[in-house]
Structure formats: structure tokens, C-alpha cells
């Protein structure tokens, strides 16, 4: 509601594939989706992994029959970042409007999303869903204004391309930087620039440093690099994100503990984690 602080809520924190297993219940098994509510009441959604399903249900309950307006920002089109979209219930409401945004990754935004729900992959064609839809491909290092928030996309080093987002609202800054691999000097510098002075830095940390040695070139980073970035960027809070499917709750707790040894204000994201700014 208007007048409230900007809030960040994690709906899906897992990378690569959902992991609905008992040993993952603490941190969660849904793939990437982060919800930001602005003080003006706008709903900004970052990625549409399987975690977006419960967000859609909540939006319908909150709306109580009134139209729903939401903005979905996609980092890229790998399946774990779009697979929840067919199950995001607001797209089926005729009075609702959903604006889709992405960086320019070489794949057309509208055509790509329609392709996921085309026959024979899904029984409802995306081109025929009831909600009003708009599509906007954003130039890297540009800006878009929504409800008092400024969203700035930037390029990340990832196979087939990806975008990160810096969200500024009043004096608060959230940086969403998932699905990148460190080691690209130019894009590492871009990431550092956009992460600087973040109140919350959400950072790809799929691998441990040892695991990374077996996964070079896969497009993901480590918790250790995330802590180094947070220190260089003078971030206030680091949130580890895009957890590996093989990392159960015990493994994630160990990673969180080790990361806090490098950067104290670190949390490994879990489903339901909420922060107010």
C-alpha cells in the first residue's frame, strides 16, 4: 500500500531446476523469482521461475476482484527463469495487465515467451491468455521509471547473454545480479559499478570455490566471489542466490556460515525471506 517502505520478498531461490525435496525445505526448492513492492504499491517481479506461482496466487487474493497490474523483469530466457510463467494466474484474468521487460539478449522477448507455451509444450497458447500484455526490450545501461522506482539494466557475463538490474527507490538500492560468471574483466567492472552502495546485493553464488573449478564456463559464480564483490561495492547486505540443485539445507547452512566469515552481513536466500527498506 502507498506510504509503506519498499519491500523485497524471495519467492524462488534455486538455480537450474526446481528441487522439491524434504532436505531442501528450509531454503526452498523453487527457481528464481524476487518480488519488490514500491512505496507507491507497484509490484516489480524479477524473473519468472517456479517461485512466481505462489506470488500470483497472493496477488489475486490481495486484489479481491480488482484489476492486477504487474511488471515482470527477466534476466534472460533460460528455463529456470521463465518456467513458472504459465502458472502465474494473473495472466489469465481479462482485467489484468502485465508488462514484460528484458534486456536485449539476441532473442525477441515476446516471441520467446510465446514459444514456451506453444503446442505441444503447453495446452494454452500464450498469445491467447486473457490479460493485457506489453513487451519492452531494454537497452543496457538505460533506465526505466515505475512508481517512483528507477530500474537500471546492465549486462552480465552468461552464456547467451543475461541482464542484471539495479533498482533505486528514494534512498534505497537493491541490485539483482544472478546468472553471471566472474572472470570477464569488462563485465566484472560493470557489475561492480552497478553494485556499488547497494543496500541489498542479490548475487549469483551457485558454486563453492572448489565446485567452480569443475564448472568453468557454465555461467555461474561462487559464494566467495560474491563476498569479495560485496566488500568492494560497499554493499550493506549480501544475499546469496541461485542455489545449486545439489545443495541441501545442511550444505546451504555451511555455505552461509563460511560466507559470513568473509562478509558478515551475508544471508543465503530462502523462500519467504523478506526485507523492508
Q: What is the pLDDT of residue 105?
A: 76
pLDDT tops 50 at residue 1: no
Answer yes or no: is 78 within a domain. Answer: yes
User: What DSSP assignment string belongs to the chain?
Assistant: -TTSPPEEEEEE-B-SS----GGGTTT---B-EEEEE-TT--EEEE--STTHHHHHHHHHHHHTTS--EEEEEES---GGGTTTGGG-GGGG-TT-EEEEEEE--SS-HHHHHHHHTSTTT-SS-GGG-SSEEEEEEEPTT--EEETTEEEEEEEE--TT-EEEEEEEETTEEEEEE-S--S--HHHHHHHHHHHTT-SEEEEE--B-HHHHTT-TTSS--BHHHHHHHHHHHT-SEEEEESB-TT--HHHHHHHHHHHHHHSSSEEE--TT-EEE-
Residue with cell 476482484: 65
Q: Which domain holds residue 35?
A: 7-276
With vertex at residue 220, the alpha carbon angle to CA 43 and CA 86, rounded to the nearest 5 degrees, is 40
- pLDDT category of residue 206 using cuts at 50, 70 and 90: very high
Whether residue 270 is predicted with pLDDT greater than 80 in this model: the reply is yes
Total structural domains in the chain?
1
Is residue 217 predicted with pLDDT exceeding 80? yes
Residue 91 domain flag: yes
Closest among 155, 147, 193 to 39, alpha carbons compared: 147
Tell me the average pLDDT across 116-120: 92
Residue 258 has pLDDT above 70, yes or no: yes
151 burial type by CB count under 10 A (0-12 exposed, 13-18 middle, 19+ buried): buried
- Residue 2 maps to a domain: no
In the structure grid, which three cell numbers stand for residue 69, read together?
A: 497490474
Mean pLDDT of 198-209: 98
Let me know if residue 118 belongs to a domain: yes
1 in any annotated domain = no
- CATH of residue 157's domain is 3.60.15.10
How confident is the prediction for the chain on average, in pLDDT?
96
Band of residue 256 on the pLDDT scale cut at 50, 70, 90: very high
**How many angstroms separate the CA atoms of 13 and 32, rounded?**
5
State the pairing for strand pair 149-156/274-276.
Answer: unpaired
Rounded average pLDDT over 230-257: 98
Q: Is 138:104 a contact under the CB 8 Å cutoff? A: yes
19-55: pLDDT as tens digits = 999 999 999 999 999 999 999 999 999 999 999 999 9
What whole-number distance in Å separates Cα of residue 264 and Cα of residue 256?
A: 10
pLDDT, tens digit, 9 for 90 and up, residues 70-89: 999 999 999 999 999 999 99
Percent of the residues in the chain that have a pLDDT greater than 70, as a whole number: 99
- Give residue 104's pLDDT: 83
Q: What is the pLDDT of residues 148-202, one digit of tens each?
A: 899 999 999 999 999 999 999 999 999 999 999 999 999 999 999 999 999 999 9
The predicted model scores a pTM of 0.96
Q: Are 213 and 227 in contact (CB under 8 A)?
A: no
Q: Calculate mean pLDDT across residues 194-219.
A: 97
Number of Cα atoms under 13 Å in the Cβ half of residue 109: 20
Task: Give a yes or no: residue 172 inside a domain.
Answer: yes
CB-CB contact of 41 with 71 (8 Å): no
Could you identify the residue written with the cell 558454486? 207
The mean-pLDDT minimum among 61-65, 124-128, 216-220, 240-244 falls in 124-128
What's the number of CA atoms in the CB half-sphere (13 Å) around residue 207?
19
Do 230 and 192 meet the contact criterion of CB atoms below 8 Å apart? no
What is the per-residue pLDDT for 248? 98
Q: How far apart are CA 175 and CA 178, in angstroms?
A: 9
Contact 262, 222 (CB under 8 A): no
Amino acid at each position: 500500500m502507498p506510504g509503506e517502505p519498499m519491500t523485497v520478498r524471495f519467492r524462488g531461490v534455486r538455480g537450474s531446476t526446481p528441487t522439491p525435496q524434504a532436505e531442501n525445505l528450509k531454503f526452498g526448492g523453487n527457481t528464481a523469482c524476487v518480488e519488490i513492492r514500491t512505496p507507491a504499491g507497484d509490484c516489480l517481479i524479477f524473473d519468472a521461475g517456479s517461485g512466481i506461482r505462489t506470488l500470483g496466487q497472493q496477488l489475486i487474493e490481495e486484489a479481491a476482484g480488482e484489476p492486477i497490474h504487474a511488471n515482470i523483469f527477466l534476466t534472460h530466457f533460460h528455463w529456470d527463469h521463465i518456467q513458472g510463467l504459465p502458472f502465474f494466474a494473473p495472466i489469465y484474468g481479462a482485467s489484468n495487465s502485465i508488462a514484460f521487460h528484458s534486456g536485449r539478449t539476441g532473442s525477441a522477448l515476446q516471441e520467446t515467451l510465446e514459444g514456451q507455451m506453444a503446442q505441444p509444450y503447453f495446452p494454452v497458447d500464450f498469445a491467447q491468455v486473457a490479460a493485457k500484455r506489453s513487451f519492452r526490450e531494454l537497452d543496457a545501461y538505460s533506465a526505466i521509471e515505475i512508481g517512483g522506482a528507477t530500474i537500471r539494466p546492465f549486462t552480465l557475463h552468461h552464456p547467451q547473454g543475461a541482464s542484471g538490474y539495479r533498482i533505486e527507490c528514494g534512498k534505497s538500492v537493491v541490485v539483482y545480479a544472478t546468472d553471471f560468471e566472474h572472470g570477464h574483466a569488462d563485465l566484472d567492472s560493470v557489475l561492480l559499478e552497478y553494485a556499488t552502495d547497494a543496500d541489498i546485493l542479490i548475487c549469483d553464488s551457485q558454486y563453492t570455490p572448489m565446485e567452480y573449478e569443475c564448472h568453468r564456463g557454465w555461467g555461474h559464480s561462487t559464494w566467495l566471489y560474491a563476498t569479495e564483490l560485496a566488500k568492494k561495492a560497499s554493499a550493506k547486505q549480501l544475499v546469496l542466490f541461485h542455489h545449486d540443485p545439489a545443495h541441501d539445507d545442511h550444505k546451504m547452512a555451511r555455505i552461509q556460515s563460511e560466507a559470513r566469515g568473509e562478509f558478515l552481513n551475508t544471508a543465503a536466500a530462502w523462500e519467504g525471506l523478506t526485507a523492508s527498506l
